[in-house]
């Protein structure tokens, strides 16, 4: 686990799947454009399983996507945060139909329910909201080079979108699409935000091909596991097992569970095992 003792920001957490995102990688704490997130969450399975790229595409692309969130405060370009609306599409007043949230129009794909090719979505019927299960699903051979903050799992995508006047069309950022990146970064392209970061101020962007990019991992924090015994002694767990005169003996039962939980407390990993069924008896 790559984890600083201060637990402040910009670290990589390698841990069991999360309750919210499961095994998918994610970055927690990105709230402002250009500002770093708190941490990146990866699972051991993602890093060690040989077939991980079947689900997530090239892992280098996946890592750069998450690093864009963590280090440079970038937002996704394949969706928008909405209330009660499909986050992967928006209504385009020019085409008068639902269009996918994209950075580049050069990505080829279809609107399908859960990416099932036998279940197309009708993007022309704008009288009703698009069903939640509709997704923009890239199909066929792709040649577009952008964007890593969009569909980074496509093998041909190796660059961020740009918005300079001399930018080639295939790299150009679309400012009118209501993606999370456009909404949170005032329609700036991802590369514009990156260039404004301290990492690139007054420096040459180019990296020599001979540069050694082998990663160096520093274990910033490592500590012993802490095991906690959890006993439920609430009133709902009480049963009467004996009674004599004015004295009543009651017990609180702690039931067994075949599971465990891990959480953080005071910067240490706490592993809680539910493996007990013990009567805790008191005289009342």
* Residues acting as catalytic residues: 66
Backbone angles phi, psi at 195, to 5 degrees: -60, -30
CA-wise closest residue to 272 among 256, 260, 259, 254? 260
CA angle, 184 then 190 then 196, to 5°: 90
Q: How many angstroms separate the Cα of 231 from the Cα of each of 69, 177, 236, 277, 280?
A: 40, 53, 13, 9, 9
Q: How many angstroms separate the Cα of 20 from the Cα of each of 17, 27, 28, 36, 250?
A: 9, 12, 11, 21, 39
CA-wise closest residue to 253 among 229, 228, 283, 277? 277
Q: Which residue reads 């394949």 in tokens? A: 78
* Residue 279, phi-psi category: left (phi > 0), alpha (psi -120 to 50), beta (remainder): beta
The strand pair at 268-283 and 226-228 is best described as: parallel
Residue 132's contacts (CB-CB under 8 Å, 6 or more residues apart) are 86
Q: Exposed/middle/buried for 155, CB within 10 Å: 0-12, 13-18, 19+?
A: exposed
Residue 102's contacts (CB-CB under 8 Å, 6 or more residues apart) are 77, 78, 136, 150, 174, 177, 179
CA-wise closest residue to 190 among 225, 227, 216, 152? 152
């Amino acid at each position: 686990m790559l984890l600083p003792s201060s637990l402040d920001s910009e670290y990589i957490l390698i841990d069991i799947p999360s309750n919210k995102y499961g095994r998918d990688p994610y970055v927690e704490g990105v709230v402002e454009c250009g500002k770093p997130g708190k941490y990146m969450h990866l699972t051991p399975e993602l890093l060690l399983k040989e077939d991980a790229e079947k689900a997530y595409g090239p892992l280098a692309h996946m890592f750069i996507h998450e690093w864009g969130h963590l280090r440079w405060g970038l937002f996704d370009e394949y969706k928008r945060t909405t209330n009660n609306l499909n986050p992967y599409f928006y209504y385009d007043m020019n085409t008068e139909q639902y269009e996918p949230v994209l950075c580049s129009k050069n990505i080829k794909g279809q609107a399908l329910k859960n990416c099932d090719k036998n279940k197309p979505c009708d993007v022309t019927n704008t009288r009703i909201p698009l069903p939640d299960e509709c997704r923009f699903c890239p199909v066929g051979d792709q040649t577009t080079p952008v964007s890593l903050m969009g569909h980074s799992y496509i093998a041909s995508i190796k660059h961020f979108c740009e918005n300079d006047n001399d930018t080639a069309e295939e790299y150009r950022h679309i400012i009118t699409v209501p993606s999370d990146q456009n909404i949170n970064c005032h329609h700036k392209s991802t590369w514009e935000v990156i260039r404004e970061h301290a990492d690139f101020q007054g420096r040459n962007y180019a990296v020599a091909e001979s540069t050694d990019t082998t990663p160096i991992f520093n274990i910033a924090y490592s500590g012993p596991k802490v095991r906690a015994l959890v006993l439920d002694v609430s009133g709902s767990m009480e049963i009467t097992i004996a009674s004599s005169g004015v004295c009543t003996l009651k017990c609180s039962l702690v039931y067994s569970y075949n599971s465990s939980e891990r959480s953080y407390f005071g910067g240490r990993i706490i592993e809680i095992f539910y493996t007990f069924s013990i009567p805790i008896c008191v005289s009342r």
